[in-house]
Structure 1
Amino acid sequence: MAAQATSLKQTSEFILEKVGGAENVASLSHCATRLRFQLFDQSKADQAALDANPEVLGVVPQGTTGLQVVMGGAVANYYQELVRMPGMGEKDENSASSKKQYSGVRGKYSKVDYCFEFLSDTFRPILWALLGASLIITLLVLFDTFGLAKFPTGPEAGDQFAALPAGFQLMHAMWKSVFYFLPIMVGATAARKLGANEWVGAAIPAAFLTPDFLAIGNKGDVVQVFGASLVLNDYGGQVFPPLIAAIGLFWVEKGLKKIIPSSIQMVFVPFFSLLVMIPATAFVLGPFGIGVGNGITSLLTAVNGFSPFILAIIIPCLYPFLVPLGLHWPLNAIMIQNIAVLGYDFIQGPMGAWNFACFGVVTGVFITSLMERNTAMRQVSFGGMMAGLLGGISEPSLYGVLLRFRKSYIRLLAGCVAGGIVMGIFDVKAHAFVFTSLLTIPAMSPYYGYAIGIAVAFFTSMTLVILFDYRTKDEKAEVLAQLAAAREQEEEAKTPLVAAAATPTAETAAKENAVAVAEETVKTALQPGAVSFVSAPLDGEIVPLSEVPDPIFATAKLGKGVAIKPTGTQVVAPAAGTVIAVQKSGHAVGLRLDNGIELLVHVGIDTVQLGGEGFEVHVARKQRVEAGDVLITFEPKFIESKGYNLITPVLVTNTTKFAEVEGVAEGVATTSTEVIKTTA
């Protein structure tokens, strides 16, 4: 657990650094899989470095200031770690003290970008509640399938519900609460996104769900309100009226703030906002929002009525292009609208073909990575596969695989078309809003047609990936070459290293004999309970590793140890061992000591940029060294004149093999001073 916590913190620190630091973050939020940054300057974000981190599944710029960092199912843990970091607490969009409240729409976004961002960020916070409700619906549908309790549908739903045992009625209340009161949630999140007060945004649609409003009359009735005719509507489960009302609230609040003194705004801005917005929504904005939703529903219904088969193919082929841009949320809103108006939805079933084609691609990648022994892609694809099959979440697959290897889209679209054809043949419909996973199959009708459709989509895409791969020839060749090189290095690390032989002289024979003796030496530092010490490889002042102005070193991501501010000009071997890595630039050297400790000495920060100037290398990789042998010499004055910090991390890179690694010296050290203690 401690190791996981450390990794979480280190990765979070890395992400914050690569987006430009806390000072470059305007706001931070997250969805089911993505950290969503709004940055003051998007160009300061090192997107390539973020994408190269194995913990990051993908990086997606959004508009001119947004950046999405895809972390998968554990995104909330990274988010919580980030908002605890210095300077980040006030960037939390969900914080009650967020500066976004009453701040208004920021002009830095393009209008089109902001419209879709508005929809996305409105529904994103509600995602958890919708996921939970969808699985409760699935349970109830399963109970109906096995004859345990009827799932009320159609014109007789009221009588069927009344006949249910109280326990099942309670279970129906669990999911209906989310959808019936959805307008309140949407009102709150939409208002918060726009910069209006979220609780006033929630109160406006809540007024139309109270018993007092419902008692005025039935849906479609016309009643007189202070001499004006009001057509009553059913607002339960609606999404467009609260969205439009939140936009109206933003402008009303903005106007009120200009004319009401700031000292009394807390009382009178919400008072007049409610006084204006609830009637305005009841008479104008609410009916208009219902009309918008009904209009879009009618259009899609007409297409579905003309040919459910054609619609079932179009929908799964659209989603692969809508989801990466965040443009799928309007369709999700229409699904909820369809269920509220029609009692069923005809989008979710075909959408399942896209989801399972996506999961089929990533499963094919998982199988391929097992055959190639590609650990990195195996981890990414397995996470995406499980998040998809069990949770119905496609983003880890999309950003971890599909958008990184564009050829995979060909395999994906083939599965979408094949699955969509089957969905069209069976005319699959959903009677409740659910997320398309293996667990929610019973929520579709006919469920067997849906099951066949998603199976066809899944296995079509998976088979194509296994047979024809998901990469171009060049991409595959590059990956296979990297894997082969990595395996070669692993084998070399396991194979005893011998110094380069010259002519067979007495001196050479002596060296070979010394190497053979070293190879037979037991790695004492790795023996259980063994305590070993490492001497300083250079003279200088000992400082804690945390003072190194580089988060990768400071957070011990590469290993624990100490840092040294050099007072000398050379790096020497602290004990007998073998050189396992040495940079041509001369700024770093790696040693495997005979006692089993692996050591990295990194002279300065970012000194690789000097390209070797100011450094001289005295050893080569695989070379045998003894204690005190000079490894590198450097010119401190020259290096510092170029603006580089000479602080030198000295790290035990195989820290994980020890129970404890700690610095044990303070002040000035020489090459005879023991500075690191390891305990196996």
Structure 2
Amino acid sequence: MNTPTTESLAEKILRGVGGPENIESLTHCATRLRFQLHDGEKVDQAALDALDGVMGTVPQSGDRFQIVIGGAVAGVYSDVMNLPSMSGAGTPRPQSDAEVKAEIRAKGRGRFAWLDNFFEYLSDSFRPLLGVLLGASLIIAIASMLDAFGVVDFRSADKSATWVFVDSMWRSVLYFLPIMVAYNAAKKLKIDPWVGAAVMAAVMTPNFTGMIGSKTPGVVTHTNATLGTSESVAHVFGLPMQLNDYGGQVFVPLLMVALLALVYKGLKRIFPENVQMVFVPFFSMLIMIPMTAFLIGPMGVWAGNGLGTGLSWLNGHAPLVFAIVIPMLYPFLVPLGLHWPLNALMLVNINTLGYDFIQGPMGTWNFACFGATAGVLALSIRHREKDMRQTATGALAAGLLGGISEPSLYGIHLRFKRIYPRMLVGCLVGGVIIGLLGGVNTKAFAFTSLLTIPVFNPMIKYIIAISAAFFTSMALVYFSDYRTKEERAEANAERDAAEATTRGGIPAPAAPADDRELVAVGAAATVTGASAASAASAASAGSAAVSAGPADVSAAAGEGIELAAPVAGHVVGLGEVEDPVFASRALGEGVGIEPADGRVVSPVDGELITVADTGHAFGIRTADGIEVLIHIGIDTVQMKGEGFDVRVESGQKISAGDLLAEVDLDAVRAAGHPTITLMTVLNTADMASVEPYTGQDVAAGARVVTVRR
């Protein structure tokens, strides 16, 4: 007999994207698996989002699909690629005649997939370099810290050979970045990446750069006495060629590879397949190296310098506006991968101006992001949310130590809509401080983390700004919560039920008094430890009351207070309800009623303490202090009020039988939710007994629960 094996995360992901036969290609970046699929409709997004180890999913146009993993993405990618079933994956699927025609029609309709493709090209040219860029930035940070403590003069012109060598360790990445970008860009456009790298390398060789300012015959150097700059022009084959040092330039390889792709693919159509290996690279280099040296290179330098000059003008003439715009823009650019062009401008600034003024304001966005994550972490500790605590801890570590915001964004912030507005306030506060204090510059490209603080100047201004951004976001998220009241109460109730199950039916210790809510907008409430304990014991007491029936109730102590049925229908015990929170009695003893119609009335006289915005839950407190929850359907909060016509409002005095809401039960069923209406006594622990009467068909207003104090 074979023992079944546990399915791995890689296998679950593969199944979720429609199987290996649905995968055209798979790559990964710092945090995400990036699928190009044959059919995006085959993805089971809900199943993927529910997987442990998956922070979130991002569908994109053109059957592209991203799965956010976090720091473990490389290992998961390797696991997926090494699955036996992936041996036949990654090949384009033949298109039918109808599909080809549909694709042509789609292009003719002017869809914006081209814009998506453009930014994908930019992003994928940089994403694989994230690791080495981060490594270089940390080397710079360490050297800057040593400089700050007086160990070495980091900017001295006559440093020892040791520190010249240390400089080469990070300059290798930034100087040869154009070759790396060219390689990635060519790979993205599905041409030989080494041809792209070779073309870019040709204008970065010592032979080429050595002509700048030299006495080489045919090279003329002009000096601008006013600006103190010089420009060299070489006459090659009788044509003037502007000479530039392309180290660190990123616009040049992006422009060059875009044209190289057209040339390369055109040559592949011209030459027979058996000679393509020789002649396609040969003619590509023969055409593109001169094209890059004479035309694309100078154009790329001009474009990059122009954009940098424009931003420099804004920074110089309206520094407050600039310092606010940058951190307020980044939270929307990063999730879409559109921030890389701005990152490229940072490199241009460093190469042309000797410093960059974008990274300082950008740092306030990063720390506002990390502050929001810290607020979530503090709340997860307070509310004993194990999974969120683990997610937030990892995301905060990646941010504060590595300057990487994606784990925070995809793992937390984009999942809870309340976080972004609070995080933007932190961005605004940090940006205003940077602007008012006169800006912050840096002479190095650095990921904005705690470790890279020393590379910013003036450092004290930067520390003040990022601290304000961090703690503003953290405080706003912590004190107003990243969940709505209904989500918080529901999450706490699920936690209590899970803890009760783990402890064998004994609920968790008491929560702080300020965590206790009568009923949250959304249908659930937390109870104190004493209430939870009594609720657990009430389960058995309730069961006994059900079996005893109304005839035996008179034996119970105290005068009974009757709760009427809020809807007409068949009464069942909470133990028969599908929702584990209600079934565990974490929200108190009560009944469930399978409704015969959608008319919901008040079961008691009292005051409406809470009325859910979505209309699916009501909290009532009687003059005797009995707290009653009425919850219409299960998970109906997801309907966002559709099908619920609420007739009352919070704070209103009501009488038994008053209409609370009319519900379209067919709409609830169509949305896939059970229609059962639940009524519980939230403060069951404060009562002598709560006695439900089940197994009967009742009209609205009939007795279904007796409460004895």
Q: TM-score, normalised by structure 1?
A: 0.68
1:608-640 CA distance string (max 9 Å, x none): xxxxxxxxxxxxxxxxxxxxxxxxxxxxxxxxx
Instruction: Measure how far apart 1:473 and its partner are.
Output: 2.2
What are the residue-to-residue correspondences of 1:557-568 with 2, within 5 Å? none
Give me the whole-angstrom Cα distance separating, in 1, the residues matched to 2:546 and 2:576. Answer: 25
1:32–1:127 Cα contact (<8 Å) kept: yes
Identify the match of residue 16 of structure 2 among 10, 15, 18. 18
Give the match for residue 471 of structure 2: 459
Q: 1:503 to 1:487 in 2, by over 3 A?
A: closer
Q: Is the 8 A contact 2:500 2:506 kept in 1?
A: no
Deviations 1:311-334 (A, max 9, x none): 111101001111111111111111
Which stretch shows the higher mean deviation, 212-221 or 120-129?
A: 212-221
Q: 1:340 to 1:489 in 2, by over 3 A?
A: same
Cα pair 1:358 1:458 within 8 Å, conserved: yes
* AA partner of residue 133 (structure 2): L
**What's the counterpart of residue 153 of structure 2?**
150
Query: Could you tell me whether the CA contact under 8 Å between 1:355 and 1:436 is conserved in 2?
Result: yes
CA RMSD of aligned residues (A): 2.6
Using the TM superposition, give the Cα deviation of residue 494 of structure 1 relative to its aligned residue in structure 2, in angstroms: 5.9
Counterpart position of 2:502:
490
2:486 & 2:59 partners in 1: Cα distance?
A: 26
**Could you say which residue in structure 2 is the equivalent of 1:397?**
408
Matches for 1:69-108 after TM superposition, within 5 Å: 69-88=67-86
After TM superposition, give the deviation of residue 470 of structure 1 in Å.
1.1
Counterparts of 1:209-608 in structure 2 under 5 Å?
209-218=204-213, 220-426=231-437, 427-493=439-505
Partner of residue 679, structure 2? none
Structure 2 contact 403–447 (Cα < 8 Å) conserved: yes
Task: Normalising by structure 2, report the TM-score.
Answer: 0.65
Question: Does 2:112 correspond to 1:117?
Answer: no
Aligned to 2:646: none
CA distance in 2, matches of 1:394, 1:80: 23
Q: Alignment identity in percent?
A: 52
In the alignment, which residue of structure 1 is the partner of 2:668?
A: none
Alignment partner, residue 528 of structure 1? none
Q: Which amino acid aligns with 2:358?
A: I
Cα distance in 2 between the residues matched to 1:127 and 1:63:
24
2:693 matched residue in structure 1 = none
Residue number among 138, 141, 144 corresponding to 1:141 in the alignment: 144
Cα deviation for residue 216 of structure 1 reads 2.4
- Distance, in Å, in 1 between the alignment partners of 2:547 and 2:280 is 93
Could you tell me which amino acid in structure 2 is paired with residue 181 of structure 1?
F
Give the Cα–Cα distance (whole angstroms) in 2 for the partners of residues 22 and 442 of structure 1: 47
User: 1:33-44 alignment to 2 at 5 Å?
Assistant: 33-44=31-42
How many aligned positions are there?
Answer: 486
Q: For residue 361 of structure 1, what is the amino acid of its counterpart? A: A
Given the superposition, is the C-alpha separation of residues 502 and 136 from structure 1 closer, same or farther in structure 2, using an over 3 Å criterion? Answer: closer
Deviation at 1:493, TM superposition (A): 4.5
| Correspondence list, 1:162-181, <5 A | 163-181=158-176
Q: Residues 583 and 27 of structure 1: is their aligned pair in 2 closer, same or farther, counting only changes over 3 Å?
A: farther
Unaligned runs of 5+ in 1: 1-5, 93-97, 101-105, 153-159, 506-580, 585-680
> Unpaired segments of 5 or more residues in structure 2?
94-102, 214-229, 508-536, 549-574, 579-709
Picking from 111, 127, 132, the partner of 2:130 is: 127
1:307 positional shift: 1.7
Aligned residues of 2:21 and 2:89 also touching (Cα < 8 A): no
1:448 counterpart SS class? helix
CA positional deviation for 1:266 = 0.2
Q: Secondary structure at the match of 1:332?
A: helix
Paired residue type of 1:16: L
Partner of 2:59: 61
Q: What are the Cα deviations for residues 222-276 of structure 1, in whole angstroms up to 9, with x where unaligned? A: 1211111111111011001111111111011111112111110100000000000
Offset of residue 193 of structure 1: 0.2
TM-aligned CA distance change 1:503 to 1:247, over 3 Å: closer
Partner in structure 1 of residue 606 of structure 2 = none
- Seen in structure 2, the aligned counterparts of structure 1 residues 257 and 503 have a Cα distance that, compared at 3 Å, is closer
Change (3 A) 1:288 1:91: farther
CA distance in 1, matches of 2:477, 2:540: 44
Which residue of 1 is the match for residue 50 of structure 2? 52
> Shift of the alpha carbon at 1:89?
5.2
Q: Is contact 1:83–1:91 with CA below 8 Å preserved after alignment?
A: no
Deviations 1:189-226 (A, max 9, x none): 00110111100000011011111112223372112111
The alignment partner of 2:35 has SS state of strand
Change in 2 beyond 3 A, CA 1:418/1:91: farther
Contact 1:18 1:45 in 2 (8 A): yes
Q: Secondary structure at the match of 1:270?
A: helix
Query: How many Å separate the matches in 1 of 2:452 and 2:60?
Result: 31
Cross-structure match for 2:613: none
In the TM superposition, residue 502 of structure 1 has moved relative to its aligned partner by: 10
The alignment partner of 2:128 has SS state of helix
Cα distance in 2 for residues equivalent to 1:504 and 1:452: 67
For residues 73-126 of structure 1, the C-alpha deviation after alignment (integer angstroms, 9 at most, x for no partner) is 11111111111113435767xxxxx989xxxxx999910010001111110111
Shift of 1:401: 1.3
- Amino acid in structure 1 at the alignment position of 2:382: M
Evaluate the alpha carbon distance shift between residue 267 and residue 582 of structure 1 in structure 2; reply closer, same or farther with a 3 A threshold.
farther
Report if aligned partners of 1:356, 1:455 keep a CA contact under 8 Å in 2: yes
> Cα 1:231–1:90, aligned 2, differ >3 Å: closer, same or farther?
farther
Contact 2:21 2:88 in 1 (8 A): no
Structure 1 CA distance for aligned equivalents of residues 362 and 200 of structure 2: 30
Matched AA of 2:263: V
Conserved? CA contact 1:90–1:99, under 8 Å: no
User: Which residue identity lines up with residue 130 of structure 1 in the other structure?
Assistant: L
Matches of 1:504 and 1:349, distance apart in 2: 70
